[in-house]
Amino acid sequence: MTGLKILTAGPGVTLQDHGRDGYLRYGVTAAGPMDRLAHATANLALGNEAGAAAIEVSLGGIEVAAEGGALSIAVAGGGFEVLLDGVKLPGWVRLELAPGSKLTVRAGIGGAWTYLAVAGQIDLPPFLNSLSTHTRSALGGLEGRGLAAGDMLAIAGAKAQAGAPERLLTPWLTRPTDVIRAVLGPQDDYFSEDQIEVFRQGPWTVSPRSDRMAFRLDGPRLTHARGFNIISDGIAMGSIQVPGDGQPLALMADRQSTGGYPKIATIIAPDVGRLAQLRPNQAFRFETVSVDEAVAARRADADALTAPMETEPVIRREFPSEFLLSVNLIGGATAG
């Protein structure tokens, strides 16, 4: 059996695929990746389906090894550091992981999430048509929990492509994050125009008290014009609720299915991942856009993912002892 062995894993490292679509009406959270564009990029770099299961890596990082055979790996998203046997590689990269080698992904200069995909299929039973992990309800993934040291993920149809690591030339991943676009509503009428302008200007930062369920936004306190309770209705990913304390909550991948606070705006789909990649204390503001502009931005992301994946070889310039000990430097021997 060819598999991926988890050597170490920080908190918040989980398996995520396209998400548990179609079950919110039953109260089942969709889960799925925090940054869908980065998740899709890692998969497509290997020839997988865009929504295939991959490992979502948080700031705690991960170390993995291949067992039973070599694996093709791709990493994409955030400004993380990637090291193969101690040799630093680009943060967005495709590589072969041979048995005996170690791949390390850890927090780098920026970003909060990155994705480690494997060519082939992570061989686990789906729950409601998805491998996405929702740890609060212990559903999906590997036993409904985050990955931990010692876990082994069997890879069905594993593929390995020999050759030097390749940098993924993906300009759509170098996205500005100082402006997050949103469509007003559906309950923007619960706020006066001056409060909507405060919402636009901020500035806002992501609170350290944030997780996959919701990002709490620190900034000016918003006041309600018509109270802060509504009849509970459905929650879309990117909905921005404003509870009684006036501090907005951006609902993310592990959001609840319904909520009873007015939603001043909804972050457009391409920018949910941009918000997700922000670390605490990074300032941003909101720009309100029309539905037509939101649809056009979504279409541009979709078009980017259909374009051929461009890569360039990574030239190795470092040869640490960890790397040298992992390779066979002797091609043969003769008697003297």
In the predicted model, is pLDDT for residue 121 greater than 70?
yes
Q: Looking at the DSSP assignment, which residues form a beta bridge with residue 153?
A: 4
In the predicted model, is pLDDT for residue 161 greater than 80?
no
Find the mean pLDDT for residues 260-267: 96
Looking at every residue in the chain, the average pLDDT score rounds to 92
Note whether 99 and 43 are within 8 A (CB).
Answer: no
Q: What's the half-sphere exposure (Cβ side, CA atoms, 13 Å) at 87?
A: 22
Indicate if 117 and 7 belong to the same structural domain: yes
Residues spanned by the domain of 194:
179-303
Indicate if 196 and 267 belong to the same structural domain: yes
Q: What is the pLDDT of residue 221?
A: 97
Asked whether residue 335 is domain-assigned, the answer is no
How long is the chain?
336
Indicate if 104 and 26 belong to the same structural domain: yes
Give the residue among 273, 239, 235 at the shortest CA–CA distance from 257. 235
Q: What is the pLDDT of residue 318?
A: 52
Q: What is the pLDDT of residue 336?
A: 46
257 three-state secondary structure: coil
Domains held by the chain: number: 2
Indicate if 149 and 206 belong to the same structural domain: no
Indicate if 258 and 131 belong to the same structural domain: no
Find the mean pLDDT for residues 220-249: 94
| Residue 289, token pair as written in the block | 């856009």
Q: What is the pLDDT of residue 58?
A: 97
Indicate if 144 and 183 belong to the same structural domain: no
Distance CA 84, CA 87 (A): 5
Indicate if 213 and 69 belong to the same structural domain: no
In the predicted model, is pLDDT for residue 241 greater than 60?
yes
Q: Which residues of 125-134 are buried (b: 16+ CB within 10 A; e: fewer)?
A: eebeebbbbb
Helical residues (DSSP H) of the chain, grouped into ranges: 36-44, 193-201, 269-276, 291-306, 321-326
Find the mean pLDDT for residues 288-316: 91
In the predicted model, is pLDDT for residue 62 greater than 50?
yes
**pTM value?**
0.91
Q: What is the pLDDT of residue 324?
A: 47
Q: What is the pLDDT of residue 316?
A: 56
Q: How many helices (H) and strands (E) does the chain have?
A: 5, 23
